Structure formats: structure tokens, C-alpha cells
Amino acid sequence: MSPTGILCLILLWVGAGAAQVPPPAAAPADTALQRVIDQVRQVLVGPRELAFAQVLLGAQVLRDPRDTAFTDVVVRFDPGRFRDPHLSEYPLTFEDQFIFWGKRLALYSQVVSWKAGRFYLHEVASGRHAWVGLADARLLLPPYGAPPRAKTFAAWLPYILAAPRGTEPRALGLWRQLMREESREAVIYQWQAAHLDTAAPADSAAAP
């Protein structure tokens, strides 16, 4: 075989090998998701909030399988991780933490490009779970200050972090009514079980 022919075979072999190499994964969706998670963390933990920084274990942003148009925010925390010689132990109860973070996420949900579904909170030390629909939580937001005109995260973050920590008695009662002590896994399991029960008669009727 001539040198030219050998060179052509080499080029064809290299080209075939390159064609088998998978293209780099498209990153925009992953990058956007990570940006949202970073924003959620900034909403949950302000720059000087040492207690929240220590007790927060993680935050997830997950599609609601019952309706994928909506996105849930799932937060895990452990109050036992915070210790301070001046404050003794972590000062917030589960309900107070739930309401406080629920307010912030409800405010945050007003400037996101995705449809906010539910806020789930999981305290790992006690195993407690609770959730609230963020659309419902928005109805309980306390009026304070003037919301930023620009619907951007950078403009709204200081406003979100400045939300009042206290909750007036009537709103507190409504928060407790809206709060459901269930895990996200339990909610999804119940939905799947109900969906199967609804589909069962049609399936059995179609069986020979």
C-alpha cells in the first residue's frame, strides 16, 4: 500500500474513534439548577447568621412528580449542630424555624422564574417533617417596607433577609393550620397509592 493510502486509513481510523467519543454534556440546565440552590441557601442563611449556617445541612430543588410544572424546596437541618457559650443551645423551635424559613422562601418565590410548589422541612435529629404550599405561605407574609421594583434576586435578597422574625398571633395560628407534618416521601407515596387505586378498576376491567 502506498504511503498516501496508509495515511488515509489512519485518518479514517482516527475519525471513527473521535465519532465514538460522547459529546460533552450540556451544562446550562445543571448550571441553572446550581444557581437556584445557591440562591436558596442565601435566602435561608444571611451573611451574619451563624446559627443558621451551622444547623443547615442541605437544600434541594426538586420537581413535584404529581405536577412537574411545580418545583419543591426541600431543606434539611439539625439544631443540635449549633453551640455557643453565650446562647447555650440553638434557640429556635421546629415550628419557629419552619415559619421563619417559610416566610423567606415565600418571598423568594415571588421573583423566581419557576413555579414554586411546596416547602418541606426535615429536622434530622428528631425525625420531624413538615410542609406548606408556598402559594399559601405568600398569603401570610407580613407587610413591611416597600418591595424592590426590580424583580431580580440581587434586588430582593436584602428585602427577604430583612423580613420580621416575629409573627403576630393571628398569622401564627394560620401558619400552624397550614403546616402539615408529613415528609415529602410520604406525600408522594400517598399520591402514588391513590393513583394506583384509581387506575385499578380500569386495569381489571381490561384484563381477560
pLDDT in tens, 58-77: 999 999 999 989 999 999 99
Residue 21 resides in a domain: no
Question: What is the Cα–Cα distance from 89 to 136, expressed in whole angstroms?
Answer: 31
Predicted confidence (pLDDT) at residue 30 exceeds the cutoff of 80: no
Residue 7 resides in a domain: no
Mean pLDDT calculated for residue range 142-162: 93
- Range in 1-10, 125-134, 150-159 with the lowest mean pLDDT: 1-10
Residue 4 resides in a domain: no
Range of the domain at 131: 27-198
Q: What is the pTM of this model?
A: 0.79
Structural domains of the chain, count: 1
Question: What is the Cα–Cα distance from 33 to 197, expressed in whole angstroms?
Answer: 34
Question: For position 194, what pLDDT does the model report?
Answer: 86
Residue 56 resides in a domain: yes
Between 154 and 13, name the one with better pLDDT. Answer: 154
Residue 115 resides in a domain: yes
Mean pLDDT, the chain, rounded, equals 83
- Report the half-sphere exposure of 189 (CA within 13 A, side-chain side): 5
